[in-house]
């Protein structure tokens, strides 16, 4: 996250995700051009970045830089060619529709140099579905961020079968350079990594309620007050490794029973019917639909505070290693 000016990045689509990407790249010193078809929307996007950057500055998440300086690194245009001029990386952030992605990537293909990376922010569409016919298809990749990306740094990189491995490496390096946490899929798979893990949890949570084992509230308590705290700083495999004398010992001791339990965790259920009513009632007692907006603000405040907490922990650990 150095302040020197680096290469140019184009952001295609000026909605929330596009704005977030713009700030992340600009914070790391890149010169960012936001493109959208409507120049009023571009103007709105540029105006919206300053309050977001000021909020990050107040939490010491700009690496000592000033929000106003970072904002100067971000410009806007309603000319795609202008946005892509000299860019090393294009990050597409348009709504989730295969047809729309196809149209946008066809346009990107027209203006693409032979070295620029054409990257999509899609959370659920594998890249082969919208890049197959392109001249520059070997330069296409998915780089899926999590919302809000300045507090949740994961970026999932998904290449198509025809994506050049060098494009994958360059994109991973770029994401690490801007302070995000990239992971790489070696092949296309529905749900990528994060949602495959999340869906496995959702389905087991659903079964527990549907089979009358416990209430929806107690499922959520078990996660928040029991399982999740360690996962906020330590992964699934490392947790296993530490809960025995290493991974092999863990699998020898517990592997057979884990398999036995998991054999009862299928088939998948429909997320509907009476169980949906039970779960929905429980959630509406906690947060009525009319209160979702406020609760999302609460969530984002908590995510921000947790990101700061994790950053402080890392700084303390670095200090105790190099005092």
Span 172-231, contacts to a copy of itself by CB under 8 A: 181, 183-187, 189-191, 193-205, 208, 211-216, 218-231
Q: Which of 38, 166, 284, 311 binds a copy of itself (CB under 8 A)?
A: 284
- Residue identified by tokens 């999590």 is 146
Among residue numbers 113 through 172, which ones bind a copy of itself (CB under 8 A)? 124, 146, 151-154, 156
To the nearest whole angstrom, how small is the minimum distance from the Cβ of residue 52 to a copy of itself?
Answer: 19
The DSSP result for 18-39, as a single string, is HHHHHHHHHHTT-EEEEE-SSH
To the nearest whole angstrom, how small is the minimum distance from the Cβ of residue 127 to a copy of itself?
Answer: 15
* CB-CB contact of 53 with 70 (8 Å): yes
3-state secondary structure 86-107: CEEEEEECCCCCHHHHHHHHHH
Among residue numbers 20 through 79, which ones bind a copy of itself (CB under 8 A)? none
Residue 259 binds a copy of itself, judged by CB under 8 A? yes
- Contacts with a copy of itself by CB under 8 A: the residue count is 106
Residue 235 binds a copy of itself, judged by CB under 8 A? yes
Nearer to a copy of itself among residue 114 and residue 323 (C-beta): 323
To the nearest whole angstrom, how small is the minimum distance from the Cβ of residue 172 to a copy of itself?
Answer: 10
Residue 233 binds a copy of itself, judged by CB under 8 A? yes
Nearer to a copy of itself among residue 129 and residue 292 (C-beta): 292
Residue 274 binds a copy of itself, judged by CB under 8 A? no
Residue 16 binds a copy of itself, judged by CB under 8 A? no
Residue 292 binds a copy of itself, judged by CB under 8 A? yes
To the nearest whole angstrom, how small is the minimum distance from the Cβ of residue 57 to a copy of itself?
Answer: 20
The closest alpha carbon to 70, from 36, 35, 34, 22, belongs to 22
Backbone φ and ψ of 76, nearest 5°:
-140, 160
To the nearest whole angstrom, how small is the minimum distance from the Cβ of residue 287 to a copy of itself?
Answer: 6
Residue 242 binds a copy of itself, judged by CB under 8 A? yes
Edge to edge, the sheet with strand 140-145 lists 74-77, 31-35, 8-12, 87-92, 117-120, 140-145, 154-159, 181-184
**DSSP 8-state secondary structure symbol assigned to residue 313:** H
The closest alpha carbon to 206, from 219, 193, 194, belongs to 219
* CB-CB contact of 278 with 216 (8 Å): yes
To the nearest whole angstrom, how small is the minimum distance from the Cβ of residue 12 to a copy of itself?
Answer: 23
Q: Name the token pair of 289.
A: 């639909």
In the Cβ-directed half-sphere of 264, how many Cα atoms lie within 13 Å?
Answer: 7
Which uninterrupted H or E stretch holds 244? none
**DSSP 8-state secondary structure symbol assigned to residue 226:** I
Sorted by sequence, the CB contacts under 8 Å of residue 38 that are 6+ apart come out as 78
C-alpha span between 110 and 133 (Å, rounded): 12
**Contact letters (x/-) for a copy of itself, 69-88, by CB under 8 A?**
--------------------
Nearer to a copy of itself among residue 47 and residue 234 (C-beta): 234
Nearer to a copy of itself among residue 98 and residue 313 (C-beta): 313
Nearer to a copy of itself among residue 3 and residue 200 (C-beta): 200
Residue 1 binds a copy of itself, judged by CB under 8 A? no
Q: Which of 43, 59, 102, 241 binds a copy of itself (CB under 8 A)?
A: 241
């Amino acid at each position: 996250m150095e302040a020197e000016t680096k290469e140019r990045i184009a952001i295609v689509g000026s909605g929330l995700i596009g704005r977030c990407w713009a700030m992340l790249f600009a914070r790391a010193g890149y010169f960012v051009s936001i493109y959208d078809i409507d120049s009023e929307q571009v103007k709105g996007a540029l105006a919206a970045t300053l309050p977001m950057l000021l909020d990050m500055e107040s939490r010491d998440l700009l690496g000592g830089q000033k929000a106003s300086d970072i904002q100067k690194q971000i410009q806007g245009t309603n000319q795609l060619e202008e946005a892509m001029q000299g860019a090393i990386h294009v990050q597409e952030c348009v709504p989730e529709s295969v047809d729309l992605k196809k149209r946008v990537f066809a346009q990107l293909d027209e203006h693409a140099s032979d070295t620029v990376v054409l990257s999509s922010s899609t959370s659920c569409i594998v890249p082969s579905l919208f890049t197959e016919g392109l001249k520059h298809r070997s330069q296409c990749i998915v780089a899926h961020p999590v919302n809000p990306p300045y507090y949740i740094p994961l970026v999932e990189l998904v290449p198509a079968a025809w994506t050049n491995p060098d494009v994958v490496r360059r994109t991973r390096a770029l994401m690490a350079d801007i302070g995000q946490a990239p992971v790489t899929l070696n092949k296309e798979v529905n749900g990528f990594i994060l949602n495959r893990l999340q869906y496995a949890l959702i389905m087991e949570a659903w079964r527990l309620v549907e089979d009358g084992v416990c209430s929806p509230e107690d499922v959520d308590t078990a996660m928040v007050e029991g399982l999740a705290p360690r996962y906020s700083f330590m992964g699934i495999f490392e947790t296993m490794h530490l809960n025995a004398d290493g991974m092999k010992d863990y699998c020898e001791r517990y592997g057979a029973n884990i398999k036995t339990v998991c054999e009862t965790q299928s088939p998948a259920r429909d997320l509907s019917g009476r169980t949906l009513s039970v779960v929905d009632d429980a959630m509406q007692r906690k947060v009525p639909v009319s209160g979702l907006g406020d609760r999302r603000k609460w969530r984002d405040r908590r995510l921000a505070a947790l990101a700061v907490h994790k950053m402080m922990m890392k700084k303390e650990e670095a200090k105790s290693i190099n005092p």
